[in-house]
A and B are shown apart, each in its own frame.
Chain A
Amino acid sequence: MKILIKGTVQGVGFRPHVFSLAKKHSVKGFVRNAGPDVEIIASGSVSEKFLDGLVSLAPPLAKITSVEVDKTAFAHSEDFKNFEIVSSCIIDGNNFRLPVDSRVCDKCLADLSEAKNRRFGYFLTACTDCGPRFSIGEKVPFDRGNTSFSDFSFCPDCEKEFSNPGDRRFFAQTISCRECGPKLELEEKHGARTAGFAERGDEIEKIERTAELLKKGKVGLVKGWGGFHFVMDATSPNVKGFRKQTFRGNKPFAVMAKDLKSVEEFAQPTKHEKKLLESKKRPIVLVEKKENKENALSLQNEKLNEYVSPNLHTVGVMLPYSPLHYLLFELIDFPLVYTSANKPGLPTIVSGAEARELFTAVDSPVDFLLSDNLEIKNRCDDSVVRMQGERPLFLRRGRGNVPGMQKLSFKFEKTVFALGARRDCSISVASKGMLFQGPYIGKADFLEVSQQMRLEFEKYVSWFGKPDVIACDLHPQFESTVLAKELSEKLSVPLIPVQHHCAHSFSPVFHENGFSPQDDFVSIVCDGTGLGSDEVLWGGEVFLRKDGGFERAGHLAQKPYFGDASAREPLKTAASMLFENFGEEKTFEVLQRAYGKEESKFILSCLGSEGSATTSTGRVLDAVSALLGVCTKATFEGEPAMRLESSALGGDSCALEKELELEISKKSGKLILETFPLLDVCVGFENKGISGKDLAASIQRALGLGIGKVAREVIESNGIEKVVLSGGVVFNLAFAKAVEEGTGGSAQVLVCRCPGDAGISAGQAVWAAGLRL
């Protein structure tokens, strides 16, 4: 008989599991990887217990989607003498599966600290249950020869473990040891190379030296599973200087802490956040800093330098995932800055050559380089998650969550490649009923990012086959769009540019809560900006999905907008939004809060010019942030709105409820939400007897309620039962809650799992796939 097991079943110790189960139940035959699946051929019939055990006793990393039993197959084949694992058979087809990277398991951790163990202190300890997978996998099936470990052949001891059915490492594709595995290398700036790859050197010594350097406040460039990190003492006063050297502005750094106890010294994770922090995926989780209830923005905590995530009430934290991390934390007692090693917006460094180039550059911010010679096949940055109660919302999908194949909720037999928009670009592929979401790449402003996208595109073609359709953003000048256009011409396949917020709307609907793109729903997208079909920059939108149509049903009132530079200087945005109501004199006063007389005059003189216009939610919040004096100059995208959220923490969100009730009008069939009162109330608020904190909280809520109410009208007049809430502003949880409240409760509101631009390529793929049905 033949048994076919589908799902994530390769590279996760499934064949050894089948092997021991077969021994136990005296099954004779063999098991092998067959294409993306695992196939068992057995003589005669097998016991029910064996079949049950296949699923119920499966190894922890396996994800089984189906078990197909064919009793007639091989019914007359010769009797097998025993049970064996045989080499993989490659089956034509592109049902691609690669397992995700998974944190080092407890058994392997025990090996690390056991002095007599062969792998005592070995930085790449792994077994069937743990270790890197996607990041080192080149193609399917997940056999050693198809991974970065193909460069390293087993020593006799590892070989023995690999072929011993009784061993935890039996048939584990990624095992190695000090004898036969990759070598750790430490290089210091002002000193000789500690040891080359060729030399053996003592790894433990190198890790000890690394700890010493970190204790001195030095900055390291350290190789992780999916890319390099900048690493330094997160309590060190050097954090501020390092920030400057790497052009990060105020963009928050991620932190790695030894364990939950250490996290709780500077932050206060909730129950659900703790659970996620300790999960095998080990994402970066945004948690509230400690002591911020009283004083949100001046965190004076010796357990975390204030420049780690300046002016914010949250900090991104992860726990150690690789054996190397655990070894380091044995030697230090402070949390580490652990942030992707890249230039702002560019892909994270993955190759040793790039790392060396950065390390040896004249103006390098790095003091030492800790690397190894195991090649990273697929760049995957750390995943970044913010919990909405029990539900994780992804700011970035990466290690532990890619490839993360998901089943499409509708039948689709063709292949769509979607290239994303600008920020948080990634490639998604909808193919043969499944959706693959590739890892975060970078910001599609840069050649480096489009070059990387091109490489990934080619790789995915080898995994999934040539696309039938390519999808991209409507904005013609994003590098992702330019690339999509070029590739569609080269491959002679149609190009489907998808409006930004249309993609946001369809991003969640393929897998959760029975949503399907064919269903009727209302979508609320609260976002930064995306090019609309009328050349206006949209971003505060309510759409109606009905009877297969998709239309813009309402939006925030259109306000003048002066483009990229004013996104960096939100007071300019505020001034341009106030100008039509305020006139020159009053707007001039507003500008004087942050600019000198001459500059204010100049800005004012620009305001009458013909610029573009926007309906963005993010830009309104930016303007409020500037007017309240929370953030008048942004050092990274989204900073003003993020800081506004932090400043609103603990504020009374129901102050000025009457004044802030926003008016909804109707213009050419669309509902328009006027936002002027939100800005107006900020001007001179100091004299109105209300605190900035209460005002910030109230404005956030008023805007959320307002757009929720616009949606409510659409929901009620169309008898809609489902609502999707998406867009980058949704990460502001207080705001998202207000939107939900505004919708009136008659429809179920689903917050998109990946509401920011990290979810765009998936949404484009789903929309384009829907068009091609």
Chain B
Amino acid sequence: MGNENSCFSKEDGKTRETMAEATKALQGRISLAHGAGGKSSAELLDLIFSKIELKNTPGGIGIDCAEDSALINLVDGSKTIAFTTDTYTVKPLFFPGADIGWLSVCGTVNDLSVMGAKPVAVSCSLVIEEGFPVQDLEKIIGSMNRASKTAGVPIVCGDTKVMEKGSIDGLIINTAGIGEVADLVRNSGAKVGDTVIVSGPVGDHGIALLSVREGLSFETLLESDAAPLNTLMQSIPLPHAAKDPTRGGLNSALNEIALKSSIPSSHALGRGIEIRIDEDKIPVRKEVKAACAMLGLDPLSVACEGRVVVCTDKPTETLEAMKSHPLGKGAQAIGRVTEKTGKSKAGVFLRTAEGGTRVLRMQDEVIPRIC
């Protein structure tokens, strides 16, 4: 009976295992989903990594490790340098609590900091659309300056390009940064028995942005959490793993730690690890919850720009240190790293307030479930 091509069902039994197929999947056009930090982003990265041949310096950590920063061992072996770069496009350019300038410096400082590096200097490249108001530019550069001073990291070089009107939307900023590594922290280092700690409420940045974009009207102003994390990171005991949850939110950050810490070649032993967190321990602001509920978003998948999640065997000291730092006042222990159990491939599990366990997976979008 039936028509095999019917829209009511489709056959889809095969895994996309080989690189060739991953490439095929991307062929045609890049979609916005490829930049959203979910599954499609991972596919895009796979494609890029497969095309680049020289990925690493001798003994260092290169592009294929997808850490927050690369590591370069100096030729004389005296020092290890962390090196990272990021490009910022954000709509709108100004939002509650921050702007693109502030964000671009913090982001790079944070990518260095979560690797355990002490940021030394950052660069700044601006791509500006023809007709962009000078006043706005001044404000944005002012924010970059403030961020650099707050973090104590100078902006040491840069570049400026002006593009024809309409070819970009306002302003794009790229920053790169280097840092000195004393004690390396990798996002693949989580160990069974570790406590998972997040430095403050999650999702503020994403919802603050959305509130401007969609004109949401909160009772109190919800501000972005964007902030440089270097001093916070330097104040806590060395964690086994750390990650700043940016695009894809806490969900993506934890999934990345769980996945990478389970790769047999890393220091994880045996069957790998799982991360188990408790829904009622995760700090989420009331406004963020309400907005997510209305818009059908999961707060755990909404972006932060000034939070860090760490896996540590010194939970008490870490919490104490975080709470005494201005950026870590809302720090909370949210779960534990456990040994991998069961047959599921998943790595992050959320214990709901009612006692069920939900699997947290990286996803491109949230589709309403209630039927």
Contact = CB atoms under 8 A, between A and B. Distances in A.
Contacts of B371: 421-423, 500, 527-530, 539, 757
Interface string B153-164: 000000000000
A721 interface: no
B342 to A, nearest CB: 6
A265 B279 CA distance: 44
Interface residues of A, number: 79
A549 interface: yes
A445 B358 contact: yes
B1 A447 contact: no
Contact of A566 (B217, B218, B294): B294
Mostly, the A contact residues are mixed
B252 to A, nearest CB: 15
Contacts of B1: 517-518, 548, 770-771, 773
Nearest to A497: B9
Interface stretch (B182-190, B327-335, B362-370): B362-370
B368 A529 contact: yes
B354 A550 contact: no
Interface stretch (B10-18, B74-82, B112-120, B225-233): B10-18
Contact of A247 (B3, B354, B359, B367): B354
A563 interface: yes
B92 to A, nearest CB: 15
Interface string B29-64: 000000000000000000000000000000000000
Interface in A611-651: 611-612, 637
Contact of A606 (B14, B15, B214): B214
A351 interface: no
Contacts of A485: 12
Contacts of B343: 454
B9 A499 contact: yes
A757 B370 CA distance: 12
B344 A598 contact: no
A771 B2 contact: yes
Q: Size range of the interface on B?
A: 35 or more
B134 interface: no
A635 to B, nearest CB: 12
A609 B214 contact: yes
A715 interface: no
Contacts of B355: 247, 343, 346
B296 A562 contact: yes
Nearest to A455: B343
A608 B215 contact: yes
A474 interface: yes
Contact of A563 (B2, B290, B296, B349): B296
A476 B366 CA distance: 10
A497 B10 contact: yes
A611 B11 contact: no
A495 B11 contact: yes
A568 B2 CA distance: 37
B295 A561 contact: no
Interface in A522-547: 527-531, 533, 535, 537, 539
B298 to A, nearest CB: 9
Contacts of B353: 247
Contacts of B361: 477, 482
B359 A447 contact: yes
A603 B294 CA distance: 7
Contacts of A608: 214-215
Interface of B: 1-4, 6-15, 214-219, 290-296, 342-346, 349, 352-359, 361, 363, 366-371
Interface of A: 247, 343-346, 421-423, 445-448, 450-451, 454, 471, 474-479, 482, 485-486, 488-489, 492-500, 502, 517-518, 527-531, 533, 535, 537, 539, 548-550, 561-567, 569, 572, 598-599, 601-606, 608-609, 611-612, 637, 757, 767-768, 770-771, 773
26 contacts: A343-B356, A345-B356, A346-B355, A346-B356, A422-B369, A447-B349, A454-B343, A492-B13, A494-B11, A496-B10, A499-B7, A500-B371, A517-B1, A528-B371, A548-B1, A562-B296, A563-B296, A564-B296, A566-B296, A567-B370, A572-B294, A598-B219, A599-B290, A604-B217, A605-B215, A771-B1
